[in-house]
Structure 1
Amino acid sequence: MRNLIAALFLLAPLAAMAAPAASESERLKQWLDERYEEELAFHPEKQTQLGRKTDYDKLDDYSEAADDAELQWHLDSVAAMEAAFDRDQLDADARVSYDYWAYRAERAVEDRRWRRNHYLLNQMSSVHTGLPQFLINYHTVDSQQDMLDYISRLKGVATALGQVQEQVELAAKEGIRAPRFAYDIVIDQSQSVVTGAPFDDSEEAAALWADVQGKLAALQDSGDIDASRADELRALARKALLDAVAPAYRSLIAWLQQDRANTDAEPQGASSLPGGQDYYAYRLRSYTTTDMSAEQVHQLGLAEVKRIRSEMEAIRKEVGFDGDLAAFFEFVRSDARFYYPNTDAGRQAYIDETEHYLDLIADKLPEYFGILPKASLEVRRVEAFRERDGAAASYSTGTADGSRPGVYYMHLSDMSANNRTDLQTTAYHEGNPGHHMQSSIALERSDLPLFRSDVWYSAYGEGWALYSELLAWEMGVYDNPYYNFGRLGAEIFRAIRLVVDTGMHAKGWSEEQAVQYMLENSAIPETSVRSEIQRYLVWPGQATSYKVGMLKILELRERARAALGDKFDIRAYHDLVLGGGSLPLGILERRVDEWIASQV
């Protein structure tokens, strides 16, 4: 494989020069698409997420050796690009692609240095829950071969989980461990995956087994297989679950239980790790795509919290609440009117109201966007095996051809953690005009190199989604002051993140100190607050990306408005920001500045 890739690199410049009729920019797009196909060969799971069925029987290689091979490939690709193309001959958008491709390689080099500092197993987004979710939600079964590929992937779970466990064990030998609470949650989540039939005598099927049954039933209903073949495939899948999946999860659970005593019962920030100060500085650079220091991020957070509190005070007075802002926080946090009952009917009502607000904004979108997504959006409760009380909502991208919708997932196991004042804002963050529009529009742009439609940077991605919350208010779809208070609550929540993330990881704050700061400055239910703070502890820096990105997008909008005056078109600005894919903020800023210059 590596020899083949090396040969392709040697031929790439010659292939590029063989098409003199194409412009330098057109040739670069074609070249980058070819390179990205090579990159995708490292990632069978990503191919599936893109709606393809290539390498459909394989999972990613999670070993450090595979990581090293991909890094070397990427560095070689940058060298080949620099040799094959004259950057000065590229148009503005192609220069973005050129610089972006090189930026990703630079980032990968730095990430390689710190890979053992990452908590590869955590309660938020790790292979132990990611693989079942991937198989259930992404691996579609439309034929008998698809089911055989699914079974091959079930067998591959043992290797993938084992590779991650090996990396976690290596990190532990270097004194790098996730906090004890993360071990406990990962143990519980892993046990949930292998609980139920066929793993034990339960009548209720485990999530993967239920998925197998459902997909086989669909194949029978379509006439692709008969009952006898369905039984054969069912037996093969059952064997893979018992012989591969179960032992891998039980090995992981056993190691975590054995190593748990070595973890910190009182969580420590990233700076407590070997090389921790430098590691956290890297995490901030990585997630904000800026050179902001921890102190700069912390001070920005304090200033934003102060500003937003003043706007929240205005709403407290508007609704006539008799008490200070702290009392108003407690009122909104605890009053029964702001919660649906903790029943299936209450959960459905929460989903129904979310869909109502998404429908409400849909009619307004053409006034603010020239390009709208073709992909549909669905609202779903997350699967039981990964659902957690108070956990954050999330969005899962659909496919460019519309064969799989974008999905807004919400955790509804404990309705007391789902305050209704957050409902409307979160719908716009995860759905439209937030993540769904952002991801779908980028995927549906055929004129961009594919990697720009597919690669994700949190400062841009989460920054846009947070900007979307403000934009929705500007669009006039809020008619309830309490829900507008929820919008401000969501914004102050992201400002608080700047304070508590840097507080815990750079300033020595305790988990409880961070919890109390969030409770004192927001109306977020305590269950959610504690879940959030634990999220920041295992994802150093990630939580800072939202507000940093949002403020940059807003700053660039107002820069364009000031420069263009009556020529400023909000739809054109939004199309520009969404149409370039998920860009590092520095490259996004240059792109906007060049657009402004072209409009004057």
Structure 2
Amino acid sequence: MKHLLGGLLAVVLGLTSSASTAASAADADARFRAIYSQEWAWRTGQSGISSSGETQPGEGRLDTVDAASQQARLDKWKQVLRQLDDVDVSALSPGARVNYAVYRAQIANLLAAQQFKTWQMPFNSDSSFWGDIGYELHGDQLRNAADYQRYLDRLGQIPAYFDQQIANMREGLERGFSVPRAVLDGRDVSIAAVAQLVDPTESSFYAPFKHLPDSFSQDQVQSLQGEALRRVRDDVIPAYQRLLDFFRNEYVPRARTTLAAEALPDGKAFYRQQIREYTTLDLDPQAVHQVGLEQVAKIHAQMLQTMQETGFKGSFPAFLHFLRTDPQFYAKTPDELLMRTAWVAKRVDGQLGKFFGRLPRQRFAIVPVPADIAPYYTSGRGGADAYLVNTYDLASRPLYNMPALTLHESAPGHALQLALAAEQRGQPAFRRDSYISAYGEGWGLYSEYLGNEMGIYSTPYERFGYLTYQMWRAARLVVDTGIHHDGWTRQQAIDYLTQNTALSDREIANEVDRYISWPGQALSYEIGYLKILELRRKAEQALGDKFDLRAFHDTVLQLGSVPLPVLEQRIDRFIADGGPEPDFGDCPPSKAPN
């Protein structure tokens, strides 16, 4: 009887302890939830806030980027970080601990950006506040009269928004914090495209009003079109004219003549923070440089072998020249490039079920890059709903690169990953609506690697295109750290990519300018890819015959964008649990072909 009573007492005490632990976790989770819920609600009411280069939701507002609002953000995120430091992480539930790790890194990066005053340099050679503004206004999401009126109100905010950005850039110029002069030539083309318009109705800002819904009355149509004409003529075009005058006559002449991030005020700390933000790891620039050199040597040997498989008899430089100049490798028309791209995407579609247990509901379109930004835009860029393909200067868009580019930017790369992340039901908004480059770009590069297993690279030239893209990302580790830490010139960076990749001259020049003006971002691709590949190898070795590639991929994608240490912890648990398929909630499962 004593043994029985003792056993019952132990059970009761155990249940009590479990209940107490659960209650404690619930309390800790609630306190943490209150912190991020309040901050996220505040954040999404702001404009001009970004994390890992990606703009956060802001209701399309364009009116609050002045120095006072920047100071308010600095103060806010300092307060939030103090609140997070007071959270007992050990008391959080397992799911909340993951959320905490993601959120704390996010806040730390947002705070660091304010401390370094990156808002004083609100553009780079890849993107700009004046070029991205159409996307921020959400002009493609207008459905009723209220939507159109809000759009008009936002057009009216552009003058003040631009004036604040100009004031911020002036402050940056005063302290030597600017985009380097070496990459500014031609960057005013997209400003001039609006500033020099004669007919306001030809502006992209007016475009949503050319074809209004049939449900609108004639009076509504005339009123909205008249107001749109006035807004574009009296607000938007003059704002772009002021910006163009400032850019040409003040910013370009006063921009810094150095290239390195480490040459900026407090530059060494700034570049180290850029590396931390974009790789999610605390890495020394020289160590990153060395990893790049090792990967470049490894991939170069693979490129030589693939070159031999093509039957080419000359040297490696001669082969690169052949690839860059022979007409057989280039589309004759923009439509041909788009159709060849679409063919690759459909071939990938036929393979996805073999590699993924869950596929998103959303589908993506393939569209050309807008003409006003195409000359300085990258070859392609993918999102959940669109894969942008650059059809400008077809002689710089080799067809042998299109399979790798398409795998990266559409499916199974960004389009698939971002769509699945958006469909997650159990994650807070700060995770669903955020993007971490090391994870997202690492996954994109890993998707190129999967093209080998999917059978997408059907010729030696396409396999060489895959390798040149692999080389491109490995070389970025060398070039980015070379420029920002070792003092490389722009020409040194161009020469390095020219000698090691089959990218066209235009692509190389655009990419180098991007690395110069966007320190650290280029490191995220290779670092993230190497970590995902490392974790796959680790799981394969640990699980042996129990390893399921579809379950591994689903586990990686279920997380959404997370820092690499968080991803590694999740895969360690995947291994410890024997490699089970994750629960995606109500995302639809795919069916593997027989």
Normalising by structure 2, we get a TM-score of 0.87
Partners of 1:57 and 1:553 in 2: how far apart?
35
The answer as to 2:580 corresponding to 1:589 is no
Contact preservation (8 Å) 1:469, 1:487: yes
Amino acid at match of 2:93: D
The answer as to 2:235 corresponding to 1:231 is no
Residue of structure 2 equivalent to 1:515: 494
Counterparts in 2 of 1:475 and 1:34: CA distance versus 1, 3 Å: farther
Contact preservation (8 Å) 2:189, 2:372: no
Following superposition, the deviation at residue 242 of structure 1 comes to 2.0
Residue of structure 2 equivalent to 1:5: none
Partners of 2:427 and 2:76 in 1: how far apart?
22
1:482 to 461, 476, 489: 461
Superposed counterparts of 1:452-491, under 5 Å? 452-491=431-470
Partners of 1:25 and 1:139 in 2: how far apart?
41
Residue of structure 2 equivalent to 1:7: none
Following superposition, the deviation at residue 86 of structure 1 comes to 4.7
Counterparts in 2 of 1:68 and 1:577: CA distance versus 1, 3 Å: farther
Local SS of the residue matching 1:380: strand
Residue of structure 2 equivalent to 1:328: 319
Residue of structure 1 equivalent to 2:233: 242
1:122 to 104, 121, 124: 124
Residue of structure 1 equivalent to 2:337: 350
2:43 to 36, 39, 45: 39
The answer as to 2:305 corresponding to 1:301 is no
Residue of structure 1 equivalent to 2:65: 62
Amino acid at match of 1:205: E
1:213 to 209, 214, 222: 209
Counterparts in 2 of 1:440 and 1:262: CA distance versus 1, 3 Å: same
Counterparts in 2 of 1:71 and 1:390: CA distance versus 1, 3 Å: closer
Counterparts in 2 of 1:310 and 1:252: CA distance versus 1, 3 Å: same
Following superposition, the deviation at residue 178 of structure 1 comes to 1.5
Partners of 2:394 and 2:409 in 1: how far apart?
19
**Which range moved further: 514-523 or 241-250?**
241-250
Residue of structure 1 equivalent to 2:373: 386
Contact preservation (8 Å) 2:344, 2:406: yes
Gaps of 5+ in 2: 1-19, 580-594
**Which range moved further: 541-550 or 92-101?**
92-101
Residue of structure 1 equivalent to 2:9: none
Partners of 2:218 and 2:258 in 1: how far apart?
53
Partners of 2:289 and 2:447 in 1: how far apart?
23
Alpha-carbon displacement from aligned partner over 1:474-498 (angstroms, at most 9, x marks no partner): 2222212211110111010011111
Residue of structure 2 equivalent to 1:579: 558
Partners of 1:434 and 1:138 in 2: how far apart?
26
Percent identical: 30
Local SS of the residue matching 2:387: strand
Partners of 2:409 and 2:117 in 1: how far apart?
29
Amino acid at match of 1:189: S
Amino acid at match of 1:262: R
Residue of structure 2 equivalent to 1:276: 267
Partners of 2:436 and 2:163 in 1: how far apart?
28
The answer as to 2:418 corresponding to 1:415 is no
The answer as to 2:367 corresponding to 1:375 is no
The answer as to 2:145 corresponding to 1:144 is yes
Partners of 1:553 and 1:449 in 2: how far apart?
24
Alpha-carbon displacement from aligned partner over 1:439-495 (angstroms, at most 9, x marks no partner): 111110101122111111111111110011001212222212211110111010011
Partners of 2:293 and 2:65 in 1: how far apart?
39
Alpha-carbon displacement from aligned partner over 1:132-153 (angstroms, at most 9, x marks no partner): 2433x55521111111111101
Partners of 2:514 and 2:240 in 1: how far apart?
23
Contact preservation (8 Å) 2:401, 2:462: yes
Residue of structure 2 equivalent to 1:425: 404
Contact preservation (8 Å) 2:119, 2:168: no
Alpha-carbon displacement from aligned partner over 1:250-282 (angstroms, at most 9, x marks no partner): 111111222222235x65222222222222222
**Which range moved further: 385-394 or 322-331?**
385-394
Partners of 1:294 and 1:30 in 2: how far apart?
36
Local SS of the residue matching 2:141: coil
Residue of structure 2 equivalent to 1:263: 255
Residue of structure 1 equivalent to 2:159: 158
Following superposition, the deviation at residue 99 of structure 1 comes to 2.0
Superposed counterparts of 1:475-554, under 5 Å? 475-554=454-533
**Which range moved further: 154-163 or 21-30?**
21-30
Counterparts in 2 of 1:80 and 1:261: CA distance versus 1, 3 Å: closer
Counterparts in 2 of 1:117 and 1:205: CA distance versus 1, 3 Å: closer
Partners of 1:512 and 1:493 in 2: how far apart?
16
Amino acid at match of 2:389: M
Counterparts in 2 of 1:574 and 1:24: CA distance versus 1, 3 Å: farther
Residue of structure 1 equivalent to 2:11: none
**Which range moved further: 56-65 or 235-244?**
56-65
Partners of 2:27 and 2:465 in 1: how far apart?
49
Amino acid at match of 1:62: V
Alpha-carbon displacement from aligned partner over 1:518-552 (angstroms, at most 9, x marks no partner): 10101111111111111111101111110011001
Following superposition, the deviation at residue 183 of structure 1 comes to 3.5
Amino acid at match of 2:212: A
Local SS of the residue matching 1:178: coil
Partners of 1:279 and 1:534 in 2: how far apart?
19
Partners of 2:271 and 2:120 in 1: how far apart?
11
Superposed counterparts of 1:277-292, under 5 Å? 277-292=268-283
Amino acid at match of 1:493: W
Local SS of the residue matching 1:41: coil
Contact preservation (8 Å) 1:389, 1:412: no
Counterparts in 2 of 1:350 and 1:476: CA distance versus 1, 3 Å: same
Following superposition, the deviation at residue 206 of structure 1 comes to 2.3
Counterparts in 2 of 1:506 and 1:35: CA distance versus 1, 3 Å: closer
Gaps of 5+ in 1: 1-16, 398-405
Following superposition, the deviation at residue 363 of structure 1 comes to 1.8
Following superposition, the deviation at residue 198 of structure 1 comes to 2.8
Residue of structure 1 equivalent to 2:588: none
Higher radius of gyration, 1 or 2: 2
Residue of structure 2 equivalent to 1:108: 110
Amino acid at match of 2:117: R
Local SS of the residue matching 1:218: coil
Cα RMSD for the two superposed structures: 2.7
Local SS of the residue matching 2:367: strand
Following superposition, the deviation at residue 55 of structure 1 comes to 7.8
Counterparts in 2 of 1:592 and 1:43: CA distance versus 1, 3 Å: farther
Residue of structure 2 equivalent to 1:186: 187
Counterparts in 2 of 1:584 and 1:21: CA distance versus 1, 3 Å: closer
Residue of structure 2 equivalent to 1:313: 304
Partners of 1:74 and 1:22 in 2: how far apart?
25
Alpha-carbon displacement from aligned partner over 1:140-173 (angstroms, at most 9, x marks no partner): 2111111111110101111222221111110001
